[in-house]
Structure 1
């Protein structure tokens, strides 16, 4: 067992909260890149982003299922849940930051880093967790001080640590005649509440289903066992979907990673509105319609996170509303993205994802604790 591994149930719950935070942290960048694409161009890229956003929501829900299975409380209304862009990912990857920006080469380069396979560069092979070079406030992986100066190389590596922690804690519990899987089974979200072609939502109730859930998340992001598809070889992993766009060619069955041989696809690298990266509300003229629209969007997005919190805490049918709402954000996002930004020549506005922590959010969080 890694000396820095997960050793307590509270620590595992915190890692799974970070997993939810991590899955969510990818949605605003992908969603903004999608809606920054100008009408009539980059249809392939738009479809890739649309599918991946839906699958990231699926992964977020899977992480919530695992947390619920061990008696945790998914809470997307915590003030620290939505990251402040530009941001390091919540799993502690510190060699890059994720920004809110327009679709383009720079955005795709970041997306490939987000979804990168767990295989490491040769100079990092076999070293487990990596010593941090950045200040420790960037992310905190659990409450144990041992983790404050450590981070992971990839999302896959992060989930592998969670899987190891689950196996370790369940083995310890079984030796004592108990189990860590004590959560309310009625909180589990299944496929009847969420449709996605990228994977089946199943209840997490024991060690086997928990490990299968983690494997599904890892396969969707980076592929199965070094391959480019998931375990069933039906769906191309996120990393390779983005790689297709960068290389301008589709993967097909039998292709090796980084070597697509399928038909060419067209990408218009200038076919997106040049939004100002990581815009903040404070940078938009006070009293303007643009600032009001940005503020309204943040309020709506906060309500969306409240809805998800309720869905994950005993009202699973609410999840049926979540994906449609996420794509209804298009109208407000497009209203922002297609407007030039005063004071910033050549740049356009964008959503800022500065989520207000309202009294209503606090009430929802309190209700979640009561349900727990």
Structure 2
């Protein structure tokens, strides 16, 4: 769940950095992917609930401190909060790239001791992380298969906690209710295929593009059509006006904002609102699935908070603009009910 969520702030930052009435093609691509990441988050929550876990998107450390490594085994990039740019799209392609380990033994790679933060790693192999996102899910599937073979009661979670397809619509796939090993594996394989196109290539059986190839369109300047080779889209051209974006500071932090300034307050208020969004998701995944539709809408209701920041220069940054920092306030403690709702006052919250 931490992995799936960690892609959302970078995608939203690029999306909201686009200036109004410009870059409609790029905006649509990024928005579709962000909504489908919410679908992935929901599918993983269903798997976790099916085996008796408890999804908690409010726990300390759930939101990474950007820049951060993802657990895909690569050391050539970190994920940052960037405006729409060739660099941002390159990172998005690295996040979603379809890569398979040469064999099962190569799925796990040792984490370099270089001081850089790692979002997640193997809970059973200290100092190890995964070769790719696809292999990360392949390892989870293999683990579920092994445990289920020895424990027939593995999938004994409360069925009432499952989010059904009636509670989520993304246009690209549907929610899978997880009740056994087969449905769990289908859900996890769907995530890997929709993100990387690992099993089905450029398009899936329904003609939907994998996320990797959606982003490749922005690099190659042309849409894919069914039947196209991976690096040779033959559809209509699309263009990206890289200059028609707000040049926000990359991976801005609250410490970058002048103390007591309106920008500092706007950045802090955004973080409080974002935590309220995570609280809503946590409630949806813990027995109130009807809230999920509100949460998906809330992800884009954050627009006003984004605009208060990205449309304003950040003092002392050589003309760069402000941006949300996604530093989630810890003053509310671990109780999701204690967090103020989006738009409520953040008075008393400390950095």
Using the size of structure 2 for normalisation, the TM-score is: 0.92
Instruction: Quote the Cα distance in structure 2 between the aligned partners of 1:365 and 1:128.
Output: 39
Q: Which residue is 1:11 aligned to?
A: none
Q: 1:140 to 1:329 in 2, by over 3 A?
A: closer
Q: 1:114 to 1:317 in 2, by over 3 A?
A: same
Q: CA deviation at 1:182?
A: 0.7
Residue 84 (structure 1) aligned with residue 65 (structure 2): yes
Residue 327 (structure 1) aligned with residue 308 (structure 2): no
Q: 1:224 to 1:114 in 2, by over 3 A?
A: closer
Residue 75 (structure 1) aligned with residue 27 (structure 2): no
Q: Which residue is 1:149 aligned to?
A: 127
CA deviation map 1:28-50 (0-9, x unaligned) = 00001001011222110000011
Q: Which residue is 2:231 aligned to?
A: 258
Q: CA deviation at 1:221?
A: 0.4
**8 Å CA contact 1:117, 1:226 repeated in 2:** no
Instruction: Quote the Cα distance in structure 2 between the aligned partners of 1:349 and 1:72.
Output: 38
The CA RMSD over aligned residues, in Å, is: 1.9
Q: Which residue is 2:155 aligned to?
A: 181
Q: 1:207 to 1:193 in 2, by over 3 A?
A: same
**8 Å CA contact 1:219, 1:229 repeated in 2:** no
The runs of 5 or more residues in structure 2 that have no matched partner are: 339-351
Instruction: Quote the Cα distance in structure 2 between the aligned partners of 1:295 and 1:128.
Output: 39
**8 Å CA contact 1:78, 1:365 repeated in 2:** no
Q: Which residue is 1:97 aligned to?
A: 78
Q: 1:36 to 1:24 in 2, by over 3 A?
A: same
SS for the counterpart of 1:261 is: coil
User: Which of these residues, 244, 252, 275, is aligned with residue 271 of structure 1?
Assistant: 244
CA deviation map 1:294-344 (0-9, x unaligned) = 000000001111111111111111112101111000111011001001011
Q: In the TM superposition, what are the counterparts of 1:45-84 in structure 2 within 5 Å? A: 45-84=26-65
Count of aligned residue pairs for this structure pair: 337
SS for the counterpart of 1:151 is: strand
Instruction: Quote the Cα distance in structure 2 between the aligned partners of 1:260 and 1:182.
Output: 45
**8 Å CA contact 2:43, 2:187 repeated in 1:** yes
Q: CA deviation at 1:94?
A: 3.2
Q: Which residue is 1:191 aligned to?
A: 165
Residue 306 (structure 1) aligned with residue 285 (structure 2): no
Q: Which residue is 2:106 aligned to?
A: 127
CA deviation map 1:142-190 (0-9, x unaligned) = 443xx222111211110000010011111111xxxx3210100000001
Instruction: Quote the Cα distance in structure 2 between the aligned partners of 1:226 and 1:195.
Output: 22
Q: Which residue is 1:363 aligned to?
A: 335
Residue 32 (structure 1) aligned with residue 17 (structure 2): no
Instruction: Quote the Cα distance in structure 2 between the aligned partners of 1:208 and 1:316.
Output: 22
Residue 242 (structure 1) aligned with residue 199 (structure 2): no
Q: Which residue is 1:216 aligned to?
A: 190
**8 Å CA contact 2:71, 2:133 repeated in 1:** no
Q: Which residue is 1:12 aligned to?
A: none
Instruction: Quote the Cα distance in structure 1 between the aligned partners of 2:75 and 2:59.
Output: 23
Greater share of residues in helix: 1
**8 Å CA contact 1:91, 1:139 repeated in 2:** no
Q: Which residue is 1:6 aligned to?
A: none
Q: CA deviation at 1:270?
A: 1.5
